[in-house]
Amino acid sequence: MEKKPIIYACSIHVDMAIDDAVNESEAAPEVLKVQSEKCSYCNEEAEYQIKL
């Protein structure tokens, strides 16, 4: 069974992260608020985690 990845995204990159997640899994991802994580795209403070 494949491990489900988690994408972290700041408010700027959350749309991009959701698009990537949908492309990857072809299902609606779960989007949760997070703190103390870094955006996967720009390394700024992440506001969301996107679970595939």
Selected range binding Zn ion among 11-19, 20-28, 29-37, rule: CB under 5 A: 11-19
Question: Which among 47, 27, 17, 15 has a CA at the least distance from the CA of 7?
Answer: 17
Interaction between residue 17 and Zn ion (CB under 5 A): no
The residue among 26 and 29 lying less far from Zn ion, judged by its C-beta, is 29
Rounded to the nearest 5 degrees, what angle is found at the Cα of 40, between the Cα atoms of 7 and 49? 35
Contact 13, 48 (CB under 8 A): no
Interaction between residue 41 and Zn ion (CB under 5 A): yes
Q: Which spans of this chain sit near Zn ion (rule: CB under 5 A)?
A: 10, 12-13, 39, 41-42
